[in-house]
């Protein structure tokens, strides 16, 4: 019975880790996209003005993107902090139950 609880805890931690990794990949992708856009915007400023966007609008959009990247980075940091807290809780629960704690990655390799 105890191994089923440990298995579900390991599965939960593994899924949490996958979610965190997915969020990190999305954040990196957003940062890379914003960087690519900022690098290519230098050659297009004249075209942007002809296309109907003013310099002020372009700057406003760039600020908006930077702000959103900052918000995503903050959320990613919060998620990482929660994952660390969950791992600590798993260690404490295993200690209180008298069971040796095995890292979820190692446990997955043993199965």
Taking only the tens of pLDDT, the chain with its 111 residues reads 455 666 677 778 788 888 888 888 888 888 888 888 888 866 555 444 455 668 888 899 999 999 999 999 999 999 999 999 998 998 899 889 888 887 766 766 776
DSSP codes of every residue in 20-78: HHHHHHHHHHHHHHHHHHHHHHGGGHHHHHHTT--HHHHHHHHHHHHHHHHHHHHHHHH
């Amino acid at each position: 019975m105890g191994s089923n609880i440990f298995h579900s805890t390991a599965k939960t931690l593994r899924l949490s880790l996958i979610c965190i990794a997915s969020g990190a990949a999305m954040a990196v992708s957003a940062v890379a996209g914003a960087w690519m856009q900022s690098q290519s915007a230098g050659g297009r400023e004249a075209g942007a003005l002809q296309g109907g966007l003013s310099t002020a609008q372009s700057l406003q959009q760039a600020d908006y993107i930077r702000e959103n990247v900052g918000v995503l980075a903050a959320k990613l940091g919060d998620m990482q902090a929660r994952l660390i807290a969950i791992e600590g809780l798993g260690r404490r629960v295993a200690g209180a139950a008298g069971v040796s704690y095995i890292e979820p990655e190692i446990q997955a390799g043993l199965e």
